[in-house]
Structure 1
Amino acid sequence: MTTLPTAPLLLHTPALDEAKAPKDQVQRAAELAALHRAAGAGEAAAAWVRELAGHQGEEDHGRLLERVAEAIAQASSREIIPGSNGLLTEELRCTLAADVVLGASHTTGTLPELHAGERMSLIAVCAIAAAMPSCVLGDLARELEVLAAELDAATAAGRAASEALAG
């Protein structure tokens, strides 16, 4: 008589649950650290964009850059919602679009007072901030750490360009 192999019986045991708990806690701690890092990078980027806003001769350009700064801060913090679809609202997408370097030229007839290094850095900062919420669809901690580092680098390049032009 042949016997059929049987599947091992899986039982709920506290030891198995305890072994999983530290891994979950480590993952959650890494995600929280990445969320804080992203928010910090976003605030630094927003502060630089607010400085750009303060240097504008045209009030409309300054107001637009202030909105961009707020959108950067929001996209790099409050919009990163684990469990969400990772998409930005249409308003935030439009505010962070690359045409930010055109400012309010449709109403002023002029471009914002930005120099080449500032323009490129501003575009990079906006693109990186806009990408941050989508990290919830993948490996949140790892991807957000990468984007936060890139946001810091883009901000540093923009600040360096601003300082070089001022000095």
Structure 2
Amino acid sequence: MTTSPLSALPLHSRAHDEAEAHDGEDQVQRAADLAALHRAADAGQAAAAWVRELAGRQSEEEHSRLLGRVAGAITQASSREIIPGSEGLLTEELRYTLAADVVLGASHTTGTLPELHPGERMPLIAVCALAAAFPSCVLGDLNRELEVLAAELEAATTASRAATAEMPAG
């Protein structure tokens, strides 16, 4: 009599079912987190592109350089600084670069304010504040919080572009 190959298969257990279910939930969560991370990065890139447009129209080189650094900081804070398992803090340099006084530009050296159209200052502050908040999402519900902040950053960028578009070229 031959031995059935079925006897060599591992026995199916309830613990095995639970482990597979848990692995499936972990994969779904990782996929949701990854999607939220991508949305945050995309929102940050769009906001940074707008800030680069602001930088490009400055007649004072100091204002242009500062806004260029702000654009880079927005990109970094909305992507590379969101590190699951970290303490969710920005470096001092990024915090300083994304501070609300960005609307003052390099006025301490130039004696002038950056050339911003009416309605652009508040969205610029909002974009910087939202970008600065992204890394702290790792301390809570990453994908839910990133989705909320990304949506708000997208709205602030849309508002900023609308304010820019309302002004005549020239």
Compute the TM-score of the two structures, normalised by the length of structure 2. Answer: 0.90
Q: Which has the larger radius of gyration?
A: 2
* Deviation at residue 166 of structure 1 after TM alignment: 2.9
The match for 1:78 is: 80
> Which of these residues, 118, 123, 126, is aligned with residue 124 of structure 1?
126
CA distance in 2: counterparts of 1:166 and 1:95, whole angstroms: 29
Establish whether residue 145 from structure 1 lines up as the match of residue 150 from structure 2. Answer: no
The match for 1:38 is: 40
The match for 2:67 is: 65
Comparing 95-104 and 112-121, the one that deviates more: 112-121
1:136 aligned counterpart, secondary structure: helix
What is the RMSD of the two structures over their aligned residues, measured on CA atoms?
Answer: 1.2
CA distance in 2: counterparts of 1:126 and 1:78, whole angstroms: 16
* Deviation at residue 115 of structure 1 after TM alignment: 2.4
Given residue 135 of structure 2, which amino acid in structure 1 is its aligned partner?
P
CA distance in 2: counterparts of 1:166 and 1:145, whole angstroms: 34
CA distance in 2: counterparts of 1:98 and 1:115, whole angstroms: 17
User: Where does structure 1 differ by over 3 angstroms across 4 or more consecutive aligned residues?
Assistant: none
* Deviation at residue 116 of structure 1 after TM alignment: 3.0
Given residue 139 of structure 2, which amino acid in structure 1 is its aligned partner?
L
Number of aligned residues: 157
Given residue 155 of structure 2, which amino acid in structure 1 is its aligned partner?
A
Given residue 72 of structure 1, which amino acid in structure 2 is its aligned partner?
I
1:87 aligned counterpart, secondary structure: coil
Percent identical among aligned pairs is 76
CA distance in 2: counterparts of 1:116 and 1:21, whole angstroms: 52
2:35 aligned counterpart, secondary structure: helix
The match for 1:114 is: 116
The match for 1:3 is: none
* Deviation at residue 22 of structure 1 after TM alignment: 1.0
> Which of these residues, 87, 105, 113, is aligned with residue 103 of structure 1?
105
Given residue 160 of structure 2, which amino acid in structure 1 is its aligned partner?
G
Compute the TM-score of the two structures, normalised by the length of structure 1. Answer: 0.92
2:146 aligned counterpart, secondary structure: helix
CA distance in 2: counterparts of 1:117 and 1:31, whole angstroms: 34
* Deviation at residue 73 of structure 1 after TM alignment: 0.2
